[in-house]
Structure 1
């Protein structure tokens, strides 16, 4: 994991004339996980939206798989292997679980296989394939959102608060899935996460963001928890 799948270099992002992210640089290792932590209002989601292309950068560069994608539209970044799961367990509520998955699988020659592989990662969804997504629990909807993103065959997966409002047992399932995916190779993950223990257990690199600036960074793992909590003053 010496090279980076995604790099954000001296990135500044603004809403109108107001800068929200100030000269931030992060790197997501190949086949690894990077976590961005910080309190509400720190600029975490803004940073992710810039990585995806939903917000333009005022300055700096975004590099995906060695290619400068700073000027590319979101759909162009998706074609290059980026997938984004926004905050809030988003799904198409009137569609069934299976229809949500088929929506992204349609048109792919291996779509059936990709759906089956996604369901292997979240087996609880198999019993819910005929249920409308709007009737699923928050944890089930989050699993569906991640499974749907994986059907697109990303090499770079971006997750915004994947454990927010989810029961601990499902948090463990999501963590185990993320670890299994990166360990088998071919996928890197960038996530924003408030759950410090979860984030550091999954992450190879971490960054603490405060007022739009990196205030601490380092190598992940449980040994980093104390330092991160101190940096976040919690």
Structure 2
């Protein structure tokens, strides 16, 4: 679904990613793991078009989208949930979802909002509460729901469990696993929780200093190898 091939990218004159290649399977999950500063967020921002690579290509379902703007990638079915539990804080939960659904080029609409609320029932209970008054875990669920109402073909998640209370981490993990299992959606997951990432992912990639140092098939059997790769 998504292929990032030999990508070199960074900020100004600083190169962060060094010839990185990552592939996300159709209707599957690829996980990218690594310590802080390894280049994980830069990889997602490059995939989404927020950073233009100096070398390499980004392909979506075989189409070269390397030079497309972010809104053009959204129109082709990409959605991105960055770090920080982002939302419009002065709007209610329901207004946040409607605003994104109404502006979606893929026509999410009311049905897409209902589907997102089915995945995160707590948001239905908090539909009239301003997003800025939600807890961190609730805002993260809202951020993911906002991406899902665009009816994406591929979802980019940047550390969705970072700084979240354990009970909500379990809910987010269950949701990502169910999305991957039902088909129709591919996920590129950046995650620090190795257990969660390996349960979800068909493929994994370990980044260190902007380079892929380890990769392979996901699954719980790969967890030990990944932990060893991260401990180096």
Q: Which of 70, 75, 80 is 1:74 aligned to?
A: 70
Aligned pairs (5 A) from 1:164-203: 164-203=162-201
- Deviations 1:159-218, CA, capped at 9 Å, x for gaps: 001000111111111111111112211100001111111111111110000000000011
Q: State the TM-score, normalized to the length of structure 1.
A: 0.96
Structure 1 segments, 4+ long, off by >3 Å, are: 107-110
3-state SS of the aligned residue for 1:186?
coil
Structure 2: where are the runs of 5+ without partners?
none
Quote the Cα distance in structure 2 between the aligned partners of 1:33 and 1:193: 12
Quote the Cα distance in structure 1 between the aligned partners of 2:20 and 2:179: 27
2:27 paired with 1:25: no
The answer to whether the Cα contact below 8 Å between 2:102 and 2:108 also exists between their aligned partners in 1 is no
Quote the Cα distance in structure 2 between the aligned partners of 1:120 and 1:15: 39
Residue 14 of structure 1, CA deviation: 2.4
Q: Which of 143, 146, 149 is 1:148 aligned to?
A: 146
Q: Paired residue for 1:7?
A: 3
Q: Paired residue for 2:209?
A: 211
- Length, aligned pairs only: 230
Residue 138 of structure 1, CA deviation: 0.7
Assess, with a 3 A threshold, how the Cα gap between structure 1 residues 152 and 225 changes in structure 2: closer, same or farther.
Answer: same
Greater CA drift, 100-109 or 200-209: 100-109
Q: Paired residue for 2:131?
A: 133
Quote the Cα distance in structure 2 between the aligned partners of 1:115 and 1:40: 34
3-state SS of the aligned residue for 1:10?
strand
Aligned pairs (5 A) from 1:21-170: 21-106=17-102, 111-170=109-168
3-state SS of the aligned residue for 1:159?
strand
Quote the Cα distance in structure 1 between the aligned partners of 2:165 and 2:121: 17
Structure 1: where are the runs of 5+ without partners?
none
Q: Paired residue for 1:228?
A: 226
Quote the Cα distance in structure 1 between the aligned partners of 2:108 and 2:131: 24
Residue 80 of structure 1, CA deviation: 0.2
